[in-house]
Chain A
Amino acid sequence: MDLLTHFWTWLCGFFVITPAWMTAGAWLAAGLTIFLFSFLYKDNPFFKAAEHLYLGAGMGWLLQVSFYSVLVPKVWEPLMKHEWLVLVPSLLGLSLLTQFIPKISWISRYGFTFLMGYGAGLAIPVGLSTDFISQISGTVQPLSMMASMTPWMIFNAFLVAFGVICVLFYFFFSVEHKGHMQKVSNIGIYFLMIYFGAAFGNTVMARFSLLYGRFDQLYTFSSSKYLYATQFIVIGMVVYFAIHAFFTRGGKEPEAAR
C-alpha cells in the first residue's frame, strides 16, 4: 500500500507543469493546428487523426465536466450524506442506459419522458415570455413613447413594426399568397434577407477572428522559446505532401484519402 502511495506521489510530481511541459504543449498545439489546416490542401491521414482526436478529446472534456460538476456534487456527495432523494434522478438517468439492452430498452422511456415533460413544461413559459411576448412588446412599446422620440427614431420604430408584420405575413400559410397578401409577404422577404445577410456577415467575422487567433498562436510558437515548433511542423507537412505526391504520381489515390 505504501509503495502505491509513493508511486502516486511520484506520478503527481511528474505531472507538475514546468517550462518543458509548456514547450511540449506548444509543439502539440502547433502540430494539431497545422494538421487540421492541412485539410485545406487536401484530405490526409494527419487531418483524420487530428479530427478523431478532437472527437475523443471533446467527449473526454464533457465527461470530466459532467463528472466534477454534476455527478460528484449532485449525486455522490448527497448520497454520502444519506440524502436518498437523489436516487430518483439517478435511477431515471440509469434507465437511459437500458437502450443498449433491446429486451428491456423500454425502461429508458422513464428517463426520456422525464426530460421531455420537464423540457416541454419549461419551453412554454420561456417561449411565451422571451420569444413571443417580449418580441411583440419590443416592437410595439417604442410606438407608445413617440412624444419623447426624434423623427428618425419614430421612423425606425415604424419600420421595425412594419417589417415584423410583413415577415409574419410571409410565414402565414393559412391563406394563399395572392394579390396584396403576396405583395406584403414579398416585402417580408427583404427584411428576412437583411437579417440573413447581417447574420452571415457576423458569422464570417466571428470565424475570421478565430482564424486570426490560430495564426497568432502559430506565430507565437514559431519563436526560439518554443524551439521553432511551427516551422518544423510546416516543413514536415510539406515534405510529407511532396513524398506522397511523388509516390502516387500517375497512380490512383486510395479511396480513403479522397
Chain B
Amino acid sequence: MRKLPLNTPTPAHTAQGLAGHSARHDSAWKHVSGQARYIDDLPMPEGILHAAVGHSQQAHARILSMDLEAVRAYPGVVAVITAGDVPGHIDIGPVFPGDLVLADDIVEFIGQPLFAVAATSHEAARKAAKLAKVQYEPLDAVITVNQALDKELFVRPSQTQVRGNPDQALSEAPHRLTGEQVVGGQEHFYLEGQACLAEPTEDRGMFVHTSSQHPSEVQKLVAEVLGLPIHEVQTEVRRMGGGFGGKETQAAPVACVAALLANATGRPVKYRLSRPDDMIQTGKRHDFFNTYDIGFDDEGLILGANIMVAGRCGYSPDLSDAIVDRAMFHADNAYYLDQARVTGHRCKTHTVSNTAFRGFGGPQGMMIIEQAMDDIARHLGQDPLDIRKRNLYRPGRDVTHYDQTIEQHVLPELLAKLEASSDYRERRSDITRFNQSSPVLKRGLALTPVKFGISFTAQHLNQAGALVHIYTDGSIHVNHGGTEMGQGLYIKVAQVVASAFQVDLERVKVSATRTDKVPNTSPTAASSGSDLNGMAALDACEKILAGLTGFAARNWSVSPDAIRFSDNQVQIGDLEMPWETFVQAAYMNRVPLSSSGFYATPKIHYDPKSGKGHPFLYYSNCAACSEVVVDTLTGEYRVLRTDILFDAGRSLNPDIDIGQIEGGFVQGMGWLTTEELVYSDDGQLLTTGPATYKIPAVSDCPPDLRVTLLPDSPNREATIFHSKAVGEPPLMLGIAVWSALRDAVSSLTDYRFSPPLDTPATPERVLNAVTASQAWAGKQQEAS
C-alpha cells in the first residue's frame, strides 16, 4: 500500500466538492421531494404478485400437521409453498447453518416462517397467511439469557480472553467490587421495512431488487435456495430506508422467500414486511446479561478484572459468534484492565435470532465496564470522570486484554478537551448545589469515552471492490461494493473519485450497487463502508490515472512528473487542457478509461483459540458529556444538554460525519432509555410497532446539542485520505445519558450509593433506582 501523504494542502483553486468538503447527500433533492425510490416505490412489473408468510405461534414445538387449504382457497392466492417446495438448499444460515428459509419439522421461535403465500395483492397475501391450521407438539422453550445460562444452552462455544493472573490480582487488590446488569436489546426500526422484488429472468435465473446491506449474500443465498449457480442470480440495491445492521443478514430470508415464490409461479413477486411482521420475524440487537468482578487501588486504578458477557442470540447462530466476540473486545472500552479475564457466552433461546445492530455487540460489552467505572467512583467517593481518566489506555498501559497494542492515544487529550469545553467541573458543582436544594427534580452529569475497534473481526470480509468508468464527455460513473442506507457512503466515495481526478463532484455519479458490477462484496457494516470502498474506488482511479499519465507522457513527450490533474484541468508540461478534452484525446488514442479497483485491509489477524491478536486496523475515539434532569416522583427524565467531541480523522465530509454522530448518539440514547422490547413468558414479542416500542422522537433530541470534530487528527494508518470511521462509534456515546441518569439518582445518597439501573432505563427503571437509593439512604440513617 502506497503511503498517503499526511499533509496535502488544499490549493487556492480547486475543483468543487472534493474530499473534505461538506457536500450534500447525493439524493438530497430526491429525498425532500419524494422522488427517491425505495423497493416498494419501483414501477410494478406486469403480473406482479405479493408475498406473505405464515408464522409459528409456538416458541419451540414440533409441527404435527399444517392444513393450508383455507390459505390456498383465499381469493387472490396464486401459490402457497412450504419447505418441501424448496428446490435447492433449505438452510440459509449466513455463517453457520441453522436458519431455515421455511421451517420443516421443528419451530424455534414465535414468528418463524412456516409457509409462504403469493397473492394478487399485499392485503390478500397477508389475510390468507393467517388462515393456516397448524398443530404443534410443544417442546421445552428457553426464553431468557439467564435461563439459557442455567441450562448451558449456547448456539456457539463460549470464548475466553485472559491476560496474566486476574484471580490473584483480584484477591490481592486493596478494593474489590462486583456488579451485574441487564442490557436490553433494540429493534432497528429502519423506517423502510424489509422489502424486495424478485423477477424471474431467462435461464431460470432471478433478478432481485433488495433493501439489503449485503447484496452479495442475498445473491448467494437466493442462488442456493433455487439450486442455481450464483451467476444466474443478480441483485441490486439502490438505497435503503435505513439499515443499522438490520439489513445485513435479515434481508436475505425475505429475498429468498420472494425468489422461491417467483420461481414457483414464473411471475415477479414483491415481498415487503408490514411493521409488526418485521418486528416479529427479524432479528434485533442482542440483549445481554453481564457481570464484573474488579479489583482496584485507592485511586481507583484497575488492577484486575473478571468480566462475563452473555448475549441472547435467539434460536440460531446468525452473526452471534462475531457479535459476542466484539462485546468481549469492548469489555475494556477505553480502559487498561491489567490482569484480566473476559468470558463471552452465546446463549441459545427460543426467540428470533438476534443479529447485527450498529456497534455489533461492542455497545453491550462496554456497558459493563462503564457501570464499573461509576461504581468504583461511588465506592471511593470520587468523581466518575476522574476514575475514567485515570484508567484510560496510555503509553505503558497500552495493550488490550486480547494483546493488541493501542498505537494512537487520542482519548487522554480528547477527554481533557471535552471536559474543558463542556465546563464539566463548573457544571458538576452547580448540579450538586441544585440537587441539594431541589426536592423533586435531580440533575445528573456524566462524561464517557468510546474507543471502538475498526475492521471486521472476520478477516476475509475486510476487502472491497470498485468499478470506475470515465465516459467520453469527461463524466465519471462509479460502482462499488458498499450500499447506501442514508449514511452518505455514495457521496463520500464520489468525493474520493473527484479528488483522485481533481474534477468537480458533479462530474461523478455513483449508481446502484449491483452484484454484476462489483462481485463478492462484503456487507456494508462494521463502520467500514468508506474505509473499504473509498480505497477500492481510489485504487481503480489510480489504475486509470497511471494509464492516462503514461499516455500523456508518450503523446506529448513530457516526463510523467510534469503531468498534473487539478481544478478540472490537466497540465502536461506547459500545455493545459480541460479534463474532458484530455479524456477525448485519451479515448481517441485507445487508452483505457475504465478500471476495477480492489482493497484489502492490511495488518489484521486474530486467533480465537488463544484469544490474542490484532483484530482492528485502528480505533475510533470519541466522548460525550450529557446532562439530564430526573423526576424522583415518576422516574421521568429529559436530556438537557449533550456535548460531543469526535475523532473522525481527516473527515471526508464533515457535515455528513456530524449527521452520523448525532444520529448515532440519539439512537444509542434511545437504546438505553425508552426503547424497550417486551416478551411474554412464553416468548412472544409484545412490542410489535411504534405504538408500544418507543424510539426517540423530536423532543428527545437534547435542546442543547454541541458536536465538534476533533481538529488536526489525521488517522496514522493509511486509510482513505487518513479519515476515520464514523458509522457505529457514536451510538455508544448514548452511554453518557445512562450514566448521567445514574448520577442524578445517586445524588439522593450524596453520591455514596451507585444505584443499579438496568437498561433500557425507562421511567419505571429510573424510579426503581430512586426507590433503591432512598431505601439505602434510609438504612444509613438508621445505622448512624
Are A and B interaction partners? Answer: no
* B positions within 8 Å CB-CB of A: none
